[in-house]
Amino acid sequence: MRTLPPGSTIGMLGAGQLGRMTALAAARLGYKLHAFSLEGRESSCGQVCAEVTTADWHDRDALARFAASVDVVTLEWENVPTGTVDFLSTLVPVHPGSAVLAVAQDRLKEKAFANAQGLETAPFRAVRNVAELEAAVAELGRPSILKSTRLGYDGKGQARILPGTDLADAWAAVGTDEAILEGFVDFACEVSVITARREDGVMASFPVVENRHKSGILDTTHVPAAVTPAVAAQAVRVAETMTRSLNVVGLLAVEMFVTSDGRVLVNEVAPRPHNSGHWTQDFCETDQFEQFVRAVCGLPLGPTGIVSPCVMTNLIGDDVAAWPALLAEPGAHLHLYGKSEARPGRKMGHVNRKA
């Protein structure tokens, strides 16, 4: 395993708020961050990192120049084209690799991979047209949920199949020719675990947290999750199994459903820092962004103990207008992403508070 010393440069594919917070954490440890993105200096990450390359994902000349300027490459967005990662991997170490992205980018592959590791998921079927949707609904029943296999996030690219739903309308609403129908899960709560893994296989997992959504977008994360020790241990085992089996170097966030009878089902994975880990910036021994830097640079992983029970609240759209009050609120830790325009559904920042 190669260890990169302070003074090295980390290449980041993507330039959003996850890159921004990684750049700030890297700077604390003496590393520089160079972002590659379609966006430029005004991006959330571009405002705070050492350098930005603004180019198309398929611009090989720009990618080669970028690779020559960095010591390792990672990403803050799992939908980077796998061809881009494959090309960069011939020039510089890239963590995680394209094999991880191939699974994380496709909901069908994601669930099939989890099942192959002996892990449970919601029942699902591949759907490519209305006729297949009708057949899948006949098998899985209503309610169920139709999702695009790729790119949908924060409730986008999804349609709920309820008793009165017209299936042709639902198919048109998702707007894809490759989808997945997921059967209804009677879950008690949604939880997630973020696991860090180095190239030598050493892992460290953050505690299990509970996530509550509003309009398909994460609203609050509650730390620790109100689950039994047995369920918490199972959730960590699931996350570490996925991380090890995918051979992730960096971070893997695993979102899971906990059923009323205590089963843990894999929902989605993300090979990068995750919104449900933002609480770690103020209430954990090591925050997820520093741990991310430690993992991709081959450094010792930090401890992951909870300093205090807490709640992370996302600031979505116009919620950010409350920043003066949040700054004045005792005990509130405000994190803003430097985005100039608040739009409905857009993550503008978050605030961490003791529970």
Say if residue 182 carries a ligand binding annotation: yes
**Nearest-angstrom CA–CA distance, 55 and 321:** 32
Say if residue 66 carries a ligand binding annotation: no
End-to-end CA distance of the chain: 39
Does an H or E element contain 212, and which? strand 209-214
* Structure tokens given for 131: 């006729």
Q: How many CB atoms lie within 10 A of CB 305?
A: 10
Say if residue 333 carries a ligand binding annotation: no
CA geometry: angle at 173 spanning 168 and 174, to 5°? 105
Say if residue 154 carries a ligand binding annotation: yes
Say if residue 214 carries a ligand binding annotation: no
* Structure tokens given for 103: 């699974």
Say if residue 268 carries a ligand binding annotation: yes
Say if residue 337 carries a ligand binding annotation: no
Burial of 300 (0-12, 13-18, 19+ CB in 10 A): exposed
Distances 141 to 123, 138, 188, 257, 268 between C-alpha atoms, Å: 11, 6, 20, 19, 21
Say if residue 147 carries a ligand binding annotation: yes
Say if residue 32 carries a ligand binding annotation: no
**Which residues, including other chains, have CB under 8 Å from residue 182's CB and lie 6 or more apart?**
122, 123, 124, 140, 144, 145, 146, 147
Cβ distance 26 to 1 under 8 Å?
Answer: no
Say if residue 198 carries a ligand binding annotation: no
* Structure tokens given for 139: 């098998």
Burial of 144 (0-12, 13-18, 19+ CB in 10 A): buried
Say if residue 153 carries a ligand binding annotation: yes
Say if residue 274 carries a ligand binding annotation: no
Strands 264-270 and 120-121, sheet pairing: parallel
Say if residue 107 carries a ligand binding annotation: yes
Say if residue 150 carries a ligand binding annotation: no
Say if residue 318 carries a ligand binding annotation: no
Cβ distance 37 to 46 under 8 Å?
Answer: yes
Cβ distance 12 to 76 under 8 Å?
Answer: yes
Beta bridge partners of 212: 220
* Structure tokens given for 64: 């080669």
Distance of CA 195 to the CA centre of its chain: 11
The annotated binding site for ATP is made up of: 107, 147, 152-158, 182-185, 190, 213, 267-268
The annotated binding site is made up of: 107, 147, 152-158, 182-185, 190, 213, 267-268
